[in-house]
Structure 1
Amino acid sequence: MEIKLEELQYQEVAIQSVIDVFDGNIKNTFDNACFEGIRSNNCTLSVEQIAENISAVANGNAIDHHTAKITGENELTIEMETGTGKTLVYIKTICELFKHYGFTKFIILVPSVAIRQGVLKTLKTFERQLEDIYGFVPKSFEYSSKKLNKVTNFIEEQYPQIMVMTLASFNSEDKILNQAKREDLFANIPFIDAIGRTNPIVVMDEPQEGMDTVNSVKQIAKLNPLFKFRYSATHKVVKNLIYRLTPYDSYKQGLVKKIEVLTVTEKNDEATLKLELTEIQNGKNPIRAKIKAWHQSANGSIDFKETKWLKDGDNLGELTNNPSYLNYNIERINKSLRTGKWSVTFTNGTQIFEKQTSGNIESIWALQLEWLMIRHFTKKQKLQEKGIKCLSLIFIDKVANYVSDNPIIKNLFIEKCKSIYAEFHDGQTPSASDIEAIQGFYFAKTGKGEFTDNETSMRKNSDVFDAILKDKEELLSYGNSVANRIEFIFSHSALGVGWDNPNIFNIATLNNSYSEIKKRQEIGRGLRICVNQNGQRVYDSLEITDDERINQLTVIPNETYETFVTQYQEEIKEVYGTTSAGAGMTHTHKGKPQNQVSFKRNQNETVNQAFKRFWKALSKKTSFSVAFDEEALIERSKEALNTIKIAAYQADVTSRSIGSISESGIVDEFGGTESYKLKANYSALDLLEELSENTGLSYITTFRIIENIGSINAFAKNPPQYIHQAAALIKNIELEEMLRGLDYHLTSETFPFDFGDFVRNIDESGYVTTPNRGVFDKQLIDSDVERKFAIGADLDDELICFLKLPSYYKIPTPIGDYEPDFGIVMKRKQLRDGKESEFYFVVETKGTNSIDDKKALKESEVYKIQCAVKHFRTLGVEVQYKAPIKEYQYFKNEAVKDINALTEK
């Protein structure tokens, strides 16, 4: 088999985006890029020219300056959803860079052996086809400290060179590339310095995998790269983002498989798998409990550990920083009279019992493997008719459960295969060798250096190892070779990032905890569009039903659908600010699936003309300036701090004695209370530092506020409480002073008119139909308030049209961009002459009609609304801004008042 190279538009855009960054660069030749026998990459563009090119490319790809994170560094970020061919994209980009600019030196930097092997395999697979396209193909090789002659050739050659290397090959001073005292040095300098003289372009594949640590940045800098290109679907560090292919875009365009999440766990499996009631405290205070749960740290790692003491009403999600538990509010901590066992009941119906473990994990693994095989063999029969081989990937918790004297997971696999195989193979019972042949495995070391791969076993099974990492075509083909026969691939974590195979149709995670692999990375191993025996990709139409779909990935996680999807959506939201960017999922057992919903533009010409006139008035962009009166801030803050009243920091000791116990209850007797004033270990310096940190003010400004304040005694009574109140007061004054000095100015720019039909993958709660007066036949909505407002607007005869404003309509404010909700065009007769006129409104919907409703509005929301008032004033009288608005009728009444006031003038 030879996998065919396709020319895909989105890939060409990604390639061209990089090429355009160097637009205007003089082409490198032997004469202008060769110095002292070393051929290097030479950039003739100025810093300003490169910056202009980067901004132009980002803008051309609809990436705003804030999202792009434009910097002056020679780095580019290209973000492509897993499974959409980023490896091939950067290889073709290398060819184009040589073709356009004569750049010859490229280093592909990878974080692991698995990814390195995948890159080398891609280079080999498409070598002939790339040569057909470009008339040449770069010389590529894997760096090896035992073959330094290849490094020498890399440095000297005039022909384009690609060196593929892991970060580990040069990330410490004792590595051969860094050594200064060797007999085989290049020009008597360390090889790392010689490589640096070539000014290579460094392609960072999955840079979030350790390439941004302090040491890694230092070591990569020794390569003296002309530019660094970052390629990943899950960037942690973004610099000069010039191209972005989101999960949603990939899904919408049919560039990846559709995802099915298959749950096999029982009801309340959160209780059996994720929670454990470990301790109860039953004293004079309210009953409290400690629960073992999955805590998520700031860096994203998850640990199963005890909480602090919990009581009724506590939210487990907030206390563990884990979004999967956000609907776990403790309803009751109770001891059963019948069983004598303690339990904790949550408001979502989940109940856990004292000392209950995470359940019989082996039975859950058995169920996962059973359903994996059912899905696998069902798909195998269907796909085989189309010449497509079906593969499945299984992540396991530790290698010892597959390669050891008692391999639990392998034994379960064999047991399940014996019972299920015959059903899908005309009653044929598999032999032990048959079951062994369909398994392949790849294991690598864990971060803790624990046992992972048995060297003897790996040597004996080197053909299996090679089949997974090197023989992709064989793995995808039917036949009798080792690779041909493999159908199920087992991995610990090494295949969790970077490695993929187009014909992975099923993924299962067999862990007794959360999978340590990020959800987007985990499902990404099987997102690539499948290929048939001719090496051609086989696509589905967007209208195809799930029953007929070929490209469907089934994920069988070790958690419920709700938990899995919550984690996945939080990862999407972390990157894109919204969960709607993620790929769509269907659920086979419960829950409403999301649907592909089409939004059609209103064809009424009256509506369209009115909307165009409205947009012309609304689309003007503004910028702001702030004249901050620091002296006023200081004086107002002093006055505010002097109003603080603090109760003394103290401890109360209370005595209650039980007088009698009867059927009517317990009678106790109050014995008295003694209060003790306590001294806090705080100083004036602590006050200065914490106020400065909490308000963002400099030490000097903060010192001027607190020096000689009259409320210093209040601070001494309870420093933490005082600091909390003082910071809140100062921050409010900061906002008020910023707003006072805030001024908006019209710019020459406008928001684009981009309102064609579009498709979203959402459920029914995400939109409302607006067939009468909507600019579209449906409107996206984020809340029930928006839903009711849109329905009211659609039924109003005096409205010409309205729409939910697009997400790119952002108003800049000092505390971040603001996105108003609705734009409205209303027609109404003027009082003076009775003629009908159009009136334009922008509306912000909230759960209140009052800007002073502190319970319904956050301070930041109030401030952004007040900024928006100034923005719309700057636009002129054409557009009236109304905020906050709860009900449509309230808006209508306010709008009529404004219209009457305007027409009376």
Structure 2
Amino acid sequence: MEFKLESLKYQETAIQTIVKVLEGTVKNTFDNACFEGIRSNMSQLTLDEIQDNIKKILFENGISQEVAKLSTDKDICVEMETGTGKTLVYIKTIYELFKHYGFTKFIILVPSVAIRQNIIGTFKSFDKQLEDIYGFKPNAFEYDSKKLPKVTQFIEEQHPQVMIMTLASFNSEDKILNQAQREDLFNNIPFIEAIGKTNPIIIMDEPQEGMDTDNSIKQIAKLNPLFKLRYSATHKIIKNLLYRLTPYDSYKEGLVKKIEVLTVTEKNDEASLKIELTDIQIGKGDPKVKLKAWHLNNSSGKIDFKNTAWLKVGDNVGDKTNNPSYLNYKISQINKSLKTQKWTVSFSNGAEILEKQIAGSLENIWALQIEWLMHRHFTKSQKLLEKNIKCLSLIFIDRVANYMGETPLIKNLFVQKYKEIYPEYHGGKIPTAEEIQATQGYYFAQKASGEYADNEGGIKEQSKIYDLILKGKEELLTISNPVQFVFSHSALGVGWDNPNVFNIATLNNSYSEIKKRQEIGRGLRICVNQDGQRVYDALNVNENDRVNQLTVIPNETYETFVTQYQEEIKSVYGTANAGAGMSHSHKGISADEVNFKRNPSSEIDKAFKKYWTALARKTEYTMSFNEENLINDSVKRINKIEIPDFVIEASSFLINSIAEEGKNDTFQGSENVVQKSTFTPLDLIEEISENTGVSYNTLFKIISRLNNLDQLVKNPPRFIHETSIIIRDVELDEMIRGLDYQITGESYPFDFNDFIKNISNEAYVETPHKGVFDKMLVDSDVERKFSLEADTDVEVVCFLKLPTWYKIQTPIGPYEPDFGLVMKRKSLKTANESEFYFVIETKGTNDIHDKKALKESEIYKIRCAMKHFSKLGLDVHYKAPVKEYKYFKTQADSSISANM
């Protein structure tokens, strides 16, 4: 199997966000970026120029400066929900940065082996396809202290180099990269210093995993990065957040699987001996704890699971809860582990309980979780096999010993349930022991001592155990490979995922150590078939036909699971609404399933059918292009360009002292030194052609007629950038001028039935009065306000949010207008009442020339739509852009007056 590379709009936006940060940088070459045998990344942009670029990007991406947390540090945060392809995004960003600026030195920092292997696997999966696109393949390798010649190559090479390394490679002074006394030094300096001279661009994958400690910051600073690009779904430290793809956006746009939460919890379990450690008190005396346990009330006979008072060593839980079932639970020790830093309470009967852990038998719960997992797994497997898709299930367990130990409780439960359930889905066939064993894979490594663990030390000693899970993603996805169930403790919680994980069960005896977003994230990625192609669902797909659905099976209540997930979302985004919607499989209709019903009014139905007859007519377009107009207009506008001097800023700070609380310094002044730039006419033509798509021949004609080439010499990259913008504008104007639409004779069908959407409350508004449906889908506050005002306007007969399948074809792709609306107006002269038809495009502005509020492509599509609706005749009036409903009414009045 080979994964197929896709061009996804949201990924391209994330990639170009980074490229635009360095817009204006002179392209690196051997001549300007090579010193003393070291090829470096060089950029002469001043801090002000970088900040200007960043502010433009924030505006384009719709992120406020407050949310972005603007900083002068050369750190850029890119936030992408797990499962949306951030690894591929930053790999393609490497290609783009070399293509645009000639940068050749990149270091990818990773916190774990799982993430490192995922990156290496991604490079291998897509290197041929990326080479076909970009015409080169970077030298990507993992750092190995025993292979220093590769580091030397990294430092010297002119070809793009990508070194993948963990912080542990250089996070202490005794590491080989930091050693100053070696025979194999690079030019008699430590390798870390030589790497620093290359000014690498550092890509930090999951930086919240230990990359922001004081020591890590100090060690990373030695690498002297040109920029640090920070990629994560769950940033803890935010600096210059320039791109954000939230869980809600990912979910809404169908970029990840839908989530089903299938909960397995005890009900009415007063007879169980559950105990939970909820609080610890540390003071002058011995530590005390509060335990949650079943309390018996003698007077009422009721029993409640609640907190005890503060307890100390020697206290008997049975006495404190008045529950004789706990009389064998006398506290013998309250201790904090030096190794794990977790508190433990030990009892006289040998039982122990950790922080956030429940003591008690969970065997029955685990058995039921495994049972439900298998039912979901086999049901999905049969359905997916018809589509050539393999189904995988992931099982997180509480302790490795419960799968690999002498008494592997969880493994035994798995075997037992597999024997019971398999025949139900396979015509009564009984699986053999060999078949059951073959279907299991696991991510545990065995140490020399025989102990199994999820750590790097163990992995190095027995790599074969995890190779299939960690490295063989394509092989694991092959239907012929027997492994279908993957077991892990915690190491697959970050950095590992697989597109065909359709079920996740968490067999814990505690609140999951893995964060909910990480836990869910292992299976969020859109699935692939045996050809390596992603298989998407339509946004309005029926529940029974959906392919991309992840089932999560935790051993806690649905409310507890969702509350914890929402708290994680809220801590990052300030609102729980940014998270993915979830459905609870034990309810008929989830809280997020919304029914949209047609308005029963006969007046609305009649008016809407007539309106749709006029609106539904399809068109096709033809284009003509006048090259001379393009040349003349471009020359006229380009000759007005004025470029500020190209400078290098030199600044001086006197450091008076450095202490733990920070440095104390005094600004000594700065100077800007004007620089000379070199270029060739071919470079100029080549760059502009690449940015605009205009032929070399036409560009030669434009350049030959320019009289301000002295502005070009000041700063060629900036001149090229501004020139490209002008030519693209002129191109669009010329295309519109030569664009013509013709009615084809075909029409969109009248296909408007009741439907159900799985969405949040923020994604729709109630429109019971004038809506074609009783609810209206909305994507913004502008649409929300428009819908509410239209629904109460006495002159409106009916309106609706136009379906996504209603598209107008344009030269730069299909366009989907927002609203359709029918308005009635009575003539004062004749007393006759007429209906008028409108199509409305809502935006954050009423001015089509407002380039701050509208993207270039939005303006172009609106202008194309004007020609389309004009061709439909006077029946349909198109109003765009519209910010407020009041403004629309003003525009509507104008159209109605002209036609009455």
TM-score, length-normalised on structure 1? Answer: 0.60
Q: CA separation of 1:268/1:63 partners in 2, compared to 1, >3 Å: closer, same or farther?
A: farther
For the residues of structure 2 that align with 1:305 and 1:435, how far apart are their CA atoms? 47
Letter in 1 for 2:593: N
**In the alignment, which residue of structure 1 is the partner of 2:441?**
440
User: Per-residue deviation at 1:547?
Assistant: 1.2
**In the alignment, which residue of structure 1 is the partner of 2:593?**
595
Q: CA separation of 1:25/1:214 partners in 2, compared to 1, >3 Å: closer, same or farther?
A: same
For the residues of structure 2 that align with 1:41 and 1:445, how far apart are their CA atoms? 42
**In the alignment, which residue of structure 2 is the partner of 1:103?**
103
Question: Over residues 626-652 of structure 1, what are the superposed CA-to-partner deviations in whole Å (9 max), with x where a residue is unaligned?
Answer: xxxxxxxxxxxxxxxxxxxxxxxxxxx
Q: CA separation of 1:445/1:93 partners in 2, compared to 1, >3 Å: closer, same or farther?
A: farther
User: Per-residue deviation at 1:573?
Assistant: 1.3
User: Per-residue deviation at 1:120?
Assistant: 0.3
User: Per-residue deviation at 1:760?
Assistant: 8.4
User: Per-residue deviation at 1:801?
Assistant: 14
For the residues of structure 2 that align with 1:62 and 1:16, how far apart are their CA atoms? 15
**In the alignment, which residue of structure 2 is the partner of 1:653?**
none
Map 1:498-517 to 2 at 5 A: 498-517=495-514
User: Per-residue deviation at 1:595?
Assistant: 2.4
Question: Over residues 209-267 of structure 1, what are the superposed CA-to-partner deviations in whole Å (9 max), with x where a residue is unaligned?
Answer: 11111111111111110000001111111110111111111111111000000012232
Letter in 2 for 1:411: N
User: Per-residue deviation at 1:358?
Assistant: 4.6
Instruction: Tell me, yes or no, if structure 1 residue 16 matches structure 2 residue 16.
Output: yes
Instruction: Tell me, yes or no, if structure 1 residue 160 matches structure 2 residue 160.
Output: yes
User: Per-residue deviation at 1:581?
Assistant: 1.2
Map 1:670-689 to 2 at 5 A: none
User: Per-residue deviation at 1:478?
Assistant: 2.0
Letter in 2 for 1:360: S
Letter in 1 for 2:278: A
User: Per-residue deviation at 1:461?
Assistant: 7.2
Query: Which of residues 542, 550, 555 in structure 2 aligns to 1:553?
Result: 550
Q: Is the 8 A contact 2:114 2:491 kept in 1?
A: yes
Q: Is the 8 A contact 2:454 2:490 kept in 1?
A: no
User: Per-residue deviation at 1:398?
Assistant: 1.3
* Paired residues, number: 592
How high is the sequence identity, in percent, across the aligned residues? 64
Instruction: Tell me, yes or no, if structure 1 residue 581 matches structure 2 residue 578.
Output: yes
SS at the partner of 2:219? helix
Q: CA separation of 1:5/1:231 partners in 2, compared to 1, >3 Å: closer, same or farther?
A: same
Q: CA separation of 1:461/1:477 partners in 2, compared to 1, >3 Å: closer, same or farther?
A: farther
Letter in 2 for 1:473: E
Question: Over residues 532-563 of structure 1, what are the superposed CA-to-partner deviations in whole Å (9 max), with x where a residue is unaligned?
Answer: 00111100001112211110000001211111
For the residues of structure 1 that align with 2:222 and 2:446, how far apart are their CA atoms? 28
Question: Over residues 821-872 of structure 1, what are the superposed CA-to-partner deviations in whole Å (9 max), with x where a residue is unaligned?
Answer: xxxxxxxxxxxxxxxxxxxxxxxxxxxxxxxxxxxxxxxxxxxxxxxxxxxx
For the residues of structure 2 that align with 1:385 and 1:502, how far apart are their CA atoms? 17
User: Per-residue deviation at 1:361?
Assistant: 0.6
For the residues of structure 1 that align with 2:798 and 2:456, how far apart are their CA atoms? 70
**In the alignment, which residue of structure 2 is the partner of 1:421?**
422
Q: CA separation of 1:153/1:438 partners in 2, compared to 1, >3 Å: closer, same or farther?
A: same
Query: Which of residues 478, 485, 489 in structure 1 aligns to 2:486?
Result: 489
SS at the partner of 1:575? helix
SS at the partner of 2:31? helix
Query: Which of residues 270, 275, 278 in structure 2 aligns to 1:293?
Result: 278
For the residues of structure 2 that align with 1:468 and 1:769, how far apart are their CA atoms? 48
SS at the partner of 1:426? coil
**In the alignment, which residue of structure 2 is the partner of 1:178?**
178
Q: Is the 8 A contact 1:594 1:763 kept in 2?
A: yes
SS at the partner of 1:360? coil
Q: Is the 8 A contact 1:468 1:475 kept in 2?
A: yes
**In the alignment, which residue of structure 2 is the partner of 1:335?**
297
Map 1:81-480 to 2 at 5 A: 81-267=81-267, 276=275, 292-293=277-278, 306-307=289-290, 335-336=297-298, 354=323, 358-443=359-444, 452=453, 462-479=463-480
Instruction: Tell me, yes or no, if structure 1 residue 520 matches structure 2 residue 517.
Output: yes
Q: Is the 8 A contact 2:392 2:503 kept in 1?
A: yes
User: Per-residue deviation at 1:425?
Assistant: 2.0
Q: Is the 8 A contact 1:342 1:353 kept in 2?
A: no
Q: Is the 8 A contact 2:25 2:45 kept in 1?
A: yes
Question: Over residues 97-142 of structure 1, what are the superposed CA-to-partner deviations in whole Å (9 max), with x where a residue is unaligned?
Answer: 0000000000010000010000001001111001000000111001
TM-score, length-normalised on structure 2? Answer: 0.60
User: Per-residue deviation at 1:402?
Assistant: 1.1
**In the alignment, which residue of structure 1 is the partner of 2:670?**
none
Map 1:66-85 to 2 at 5 A: 66-85=66-85
For the residues of structure 2 that align with 1:62 and 1:760, how far apart are their CA atoms? 26
Q: Is the 8 A contact 1:274 1:294 kept in 2?
A: no
For the residues of structure 1 that align with 2:151 and 2:143, how far apart are their CA atoms? 7
User: Per-residue deviation at 1:78?
Assistant: 0.5
For the residues of structure 2 that align with 1:574 and 1:775, how far apart are their CA atoms? 39
Q: Is the 8 A contact 2:297 2:322 kept in 1?
A: no
User: Per-residue deviation at 1:428?
Assistant: 1.6
**In the alignment, which residue of structure 2 is the partner of 1:562?**
559
For the residues of structure 2 that align with 1:388 and 1:142, how far apart are their CA atoms? 32
For the residues of structure 1 that align with 2:417 and 2:292, how far apart are their CA atoms? 43
Letter in 1 for 2:548: N
SS at the partner of 2:543? coil
Question: Over residues 277-296 of structure 1, what are the superposed CA-to-partner deviations in whole Å (9 max), with x where a residue is unaligned?
Answer: xxxxxxxxxxxxxx743899
Q: CA separation of 1:338/1:581 partners in 2, compared to 1, >3 Å: closer, same or farther?
A: closer
Q: CA separation of 1:128/1:353 partners in 2, compared to 1, >3 Å: closer, same or farther?
A: farther
User: Per-residue deviation at 1:359?
Assistant: 4.0
User: Per-residue deviation at 1:337?
Assistant: 5.1
For the residues of structure 1 that align with 2:381 and 2:476, how far apart are their CA atoms? 14
Q: Is the 8 A contact 1:114 1:495 kept in 2?
A: yes
Q: CA separation of 1:34/1:442 partners in 2, compared to 1, >3 Å: closer, same or farther?
A: same
Q: Is the 8 A contact 1:79 1:232 kept in 2?
A: yes
Letter in 2 for 1:293: T
User: Per-residue deviation at 1:795?
Assistant: 7.0
SS at the partner of 1:392? strand
For the residues of structure 1 that align with 2:442 and 2:247, how far apart are their CA atoms? 28
SS at the partner of 2:216? helix
Q: Is the 8 A contact 1:107 1:163 kept in 2?
A: yes
User: Per-residue deviation at 1:418?
Assistant: 1.3
**In the alignment, which residue of structure 1 is the partner of 2:654?**
none
Letter in 1 for 2:164: V
For the residues of structure 2 that align with 1:206 and 1:48, how far apart are their CA atoms? 28
For the residues of structure 2 that align with 1:45 and 1:200, how far apart are their CA atoms? 16
SS at the partner of 2:195? helix
**In the alignment, which residue of structure 1 is the partner of 2:811?**
none
SS at the partner of 2:453? coil
Q: Is the 8 A contact 2:274 2:360 kept in 1?
A: no
For the residues of structure 2 that align with 1:378 and 1:5, how far apart are their CA atoms? 29
User: Per-residue deviation at 1:593?
Assistant: 3.5
Q: CA separation of 1:58/1:13 partners in 2, compared to 1, >3 Å: closer, same or farther?
A: same
For the residues of structure 2 that align with 1:791 and 1:155, how far apart are their CA atoms? 62
Q: CA separation of 1:454/1:780 partners in 2, compared to 1, >3 Å: closer, same or farther?
A: closer
SS at the partner of 1:31? coil
Instruction: Tell me, yes or no, if structure 1 residue 544 matches structure 2 residue 541.
Output: yes
SS at the partner of 1:77? strand
Q: CA separation of 1:273/1:463 partners in 2, compared to 1, >3 Å: closer, same or farther?
A: farther
Q: Is the 8 A contact 1:272 1:358 kept in 2?
A: no
Letter in 2 for 1:132: D
User: Per-residue deviation at 1:457?
Assistant: 9.8
Q: Is the 8 A contact 2:273 2:360 kept in 1?
A: no
Q: CA separation of 1:775/1:305 partners in 2, compared to 1, >3 Å: closer, same or farther?
A: farther
Q: Give 5+ residue unaligned stretches, structure 2.
A: 309-320, 327-357, 599-603, 609-755, 779-783, 800-883, 885-900
Q: Is the 8 A contact 2:444 2:452 kept in 1?
A: no
For the residues of structure 2 that align with 1:382 and 1:353, how far apart are their CA atoms? 53
Letter in 2 for 1:537: R
Q: CA separation of 1:765/1:2 partners in 2, compared to 1, >3 Å: closer, same or farther?
A: closer
